[in-house]
A = this chain, B = another copy of it.
Amino acid sequence: MTYDPPDSIAAVMTPAEVRQACRVGAFNRPTRGAAVGWVHCNLVVLDQRHAYDFLLYCQRNPKACPVMEITDTGNPEPRRTASGADLRSDLARYHVFRDGVQADDSTNINDLWTDTSIGFLIGSGITFDGALQRAGVPTDKDRWVVNTDIDTEPAGVFSGKLVATMRWLTPEQAIIATQVSARFPNNHGAPIHIGDPAQIGADLANPLFGPPVGKVRDGQVAVFWACGVTPQSAALNAGIDLMITHAPAHGLPIDIKSDDVALP
């Protein structure tokens, strides 16, 4: 299959439709902009030997790593939040880390999943894109994933700096986006910083995702959220033998409406 849905189609696809299209190779684009209004998750797959340390790392860093579901050991179906889904194939693109070094991306992990693999679904900020759009905050541009110099709380072998999602917004949009995102505490919640990127050591010279950053526009302000790419940074530091994650912006939409996880 070579068909990829255009933005207008992707936006109204259901999570199950996105997952099925990924499974058959007909969805090779970011899930940002797809299945709008549904909860999106980042993925981490680890062997059970590392599962306690990793879950402890998530518990100690809940803004970056809000856990939505953990599969039973060896079972690739996240049956509580996405019945019928298969974590081995239902994401468009996977990052693979071996001994702390990033290997080539993969479009499925059928050959890497074992009887002792565990999948962690971690709430993504894409979850509140629909709510931001309804509130008049654009979500389709001026958006990056960047490193910061903020230490996360270590747990076992996992440690490292916080990774952030940065958006450039007008001050009015920043205020609205703060209020809207605060209603989603299990999907990174309110911003961690607004204003000078240097105050949190944000590395704008080397964004992890997105085009070259350039200079912030007049009349705009940088707004930063804790990002689900943080565990990838921790995996690089840990140097564990095998860790698989979603590729940035290529997550898994699950069968829960964003409005159903939002605070009133």
| Contact pattern, A 33-55, Cβ under 8 Å of B = 1, otherwise 0 | 00000000000000010011001
12 more A-B residue pairs beyond the given contacts A48-B52, A55-B56, A185-B185, with a C-beta to C-beta distance below 8 A: A51-B52, A52-B52, A52-B55, A55-B55, A55-B59, A56-B70, A59-B67, A59-B70, A60-B70, A60-B80, A80-B153, A263-B263
| Contact pattern, A 62-87, Cβ under 8 Å of B = 1, otherwise 0 | 00000100100000000010000000
A75 smallest CB distance to B (angstroms): 13
Alpha-carbon separation in the docked complex, A17 to B48 (Å): 41
State the interface size on chain A (CB cutoff 8 A). 13
Residue among A51, A56, A153, A185 with max Cβ neighbours from chain B (10 Å): A56
Instruction: Report the copy number of this chain in the oligomer.
Output: 2
Contacts of A48 in B (CB 8 A): 52
Give the dominant DSSP class at A's interface.
helix
Q: Can you list 10 residue pairs at the A/B interface with Cβ under 8 Å?
A: A51-B52, A52-B55, A55-B56, A55-B59, A56-B70, A59-B67, A60-B70, A80-B153, A185-B185, A263-B263
Q: Which of A206-238 contact B (CB under 8 A)?
A: none
Contacts of A67 in B (CB 8 A): 59
Contacts of A185 in B (CB 8 A): 185
Contacts of A60 in B (CB 8 A): 70, 80
A89 smallest CB distance to B (angstroms): 24
Contacts of A51 in B (CB 8 A): 52
Alpha-carbon separation in the docked complex, A185 to B185 (Å): 10
| Contact pattern, A 109-142, Cβ under 8 Å of B = 1, otherwise 0 | 0000000000000000000000000000000000
Alpha-carbon separation in the docked complex, A15 to B256 (Å): 39
A78 smallest CB distance to B (angstroms): 12
Residue among A52, A60, A67, A263 with max Cβ neighbours from chain B (10 Å): A52
Contacts of A70 in B (CB 8 A): 56, 59-60
Alpha-carbon separation in the docked complex, A59 to B123 (Å): 13
Contacts of A52 in B (CB 8 A): 48, 51-52, 55
Closest chain B residue, CB of each to CB of A73 = B156
Alpha-carbon separation in the docked complex, A60 to B68 (Å): 9
Contacts of A59 in B (CB 8 A): 55, 67, 70
Alpha-carbon separation in the docked complex, A153 to B80 (Å): 10
A261 smallest CB distance to B (angstroms): 11
A111 smallest CB distance to B (angstroms): 26
